[in-house]
Amino acid sequence: MKRQKLLCVLVGWGLTCSVWGMAQEKGSWRAESSTAKSITGDVGFSNEKISINFSGFWIAQIRVLEPAEVSAAFDAESGAGGSGNLYRLSIPGDKRFLHKSTLCGGEDVQWAATYVVGHSLQLAFFSGSKMPVLTPDALANSTNLCGIFSYVR
């Protein structure tokens, strides 16, 4: 009987931790970097939407990022902790945000990658229908990386 209770507690704790790790970007984030302050302003994540400058866009989590992908995309040191996710979304290229700015020139934004560590969030937007390749070489030669923005809580 004690083993069964212990097993239930361990499984429940494991599920709670995995859900917490996947939902770290949920909630409101205040723009920190100069690009975020001048283009997106504050952002917010819910289970199904991202809000940028009071405009909501549907998102779908595709997968959790590998540590090497987080390191390549966000210059995160290995072992720094945190987690990242890749999302599919659709933000029209003609959508204007702060100061009449767009996220990616005239191109539609179709992918977003996140990296959360502590009380900071980095958010990278990508254009193009193909899933972005998050390796140092691919990102160095990428034409679909729209920008990387930083936020805090």
- The per-residue pLDDT for 7 is 43
- The per-residue pLDDT for 12 is 46
**CATH architecture label of 25-152:** Beta Barrel (2.40)
CA–CA separation, 116 and 135 (whole Å): 18
Looking at residue 63, its amino acid is R
Tokens of 59: 């998102």
Phi first, then psi, for residue 19 (nearest 5°) are -65, -40
Q: Are 30 and 40 in contact (CB under 8 A)?
A: no
**Mean pLDDT confidence for 23-38:** 93
CA–CA separation, 59 and 26 (whole Å): 12
What mean pLDDT is reported for the chain?
Answer: 87
Q: Is the pLDDT of residue 26 over 80?
A: yes
- In three-state form (DSSP H/G/I as H, E/B as E, the rest C), the secondary structure along 61-108 is EEEECCHHHHHHHHCCCCCCCCEEEEEEEEECCCCCCHHHCCCECECC
CA–CA separation, 28 and 55 (whole Å): 13
- The per-residue pLDDT for 14 is 45
* Residues sharing a CB contact under 8 Å with residue 80, sequence separation 6 or more, in sequence order: 117
114 vs 16, higher pLDDT:
114
- pLDDT, tens only, 40-85: 999 999 999 999 999 999 999 999 999 999 999 998 776 678 899 9
- The per-residue pLDDT for 35 is 95
Q: Is the pLDDT of residue 108 over 70?
A: yes
**Mean pLDDT confidence for 132-140:** 95
Task: Tell me the percentage of the chain whose pLDDT exceeds 70.
Answer: 83
Q: Is the pLDDT of residue 19 over 50?
A: no
- pTM for the full model? 0.83
Domain spans of the chain?
25-152
Cα 10–Cα 86–Cα 44 angle in degrees, nearest 5: 90
